[in-house]
C-alpha cells in the first residue's frame, strides 16, 4: 500500500528555491527535468519508504540523493511520509541540522 506524501513548509520553500535557481541559471528544460525526476522519485518513495538511508537516527530522518546537488530528507510517520527538506549540497553543511 502506498503511503501518502506530505510536504512540510520547509520542504515546499526549499523546493521552490531550487526551482527558482535552476530556472534562472539553466532554463525551463532543466526545471522540467528536475520536477519530473522529483515526482517520479516521490511515486517510488510512497511504495518503498525505506529507500533512503538513515541520516538522523534519533529522529528517524532518512535522506536520499535526488540528484548530485540535492538531497531530500523525509520521515515516515504512520501512514504518511513527511518531506522535511530539499537540501542543496552546495550550501553550508551545517545548515542541514
Confidence of residue 93 (pLDDT cuts 50, 70, 90): low
Question: pTM for the full model?
Answer: 0.90
- What's the order of all strands across the beta sheet hosting 80-88? 4-7, 80-88, 70-77, 61-67, 53-56
* Distance of alpha carbon 2 from alpha carbon 5, whole angstroms: 9
Domain ranges across the chain: 4-90
Q: What is the pLDDT of residues 29-84, one digit of tens each?
A: 999 999 999 999 999 999 999 999 999 999 999 999 999 999 999 999 999 999 99
**Superfamily holding 4-90:** RelE-like (3.30.2310.20)
C-alpha cell at 28: 525551463
Q: Is the pLDDT of residue 15 over 60?
A: yes
Contact of 64 with 48, CB cutoff 8 Å:
no
Amino acid at each position: 500500500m502506498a503511503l501518502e506524501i506530505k510536504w512540510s513548509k520547509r520542504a515546499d520553500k526549499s523546493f521552490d528555491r531550487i526551482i527558482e535557481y535552476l530556472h534562472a541559471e539553466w532554463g525551463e528544460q532543466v526545471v522540467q527535468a528536475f520536477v519530473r525526476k522529483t515526482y517520479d522519485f516521490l511515486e517510488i518513495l510512497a511504495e518503498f519508504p525505506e529507500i533512503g538511508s538513515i541520516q538522523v537516527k534519533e529522529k528517524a530522518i532518512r535522506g536520499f540523493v535526488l540528484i548530485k546537488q540535492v538531497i531530500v530528507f523525509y520521515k515516515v510517520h504512520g501512514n504518511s511520509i513527511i518531506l522535511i527538506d530539499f537540501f542543496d549540497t552546495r550550501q553550508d553543511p551545517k545548515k542541514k541540522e
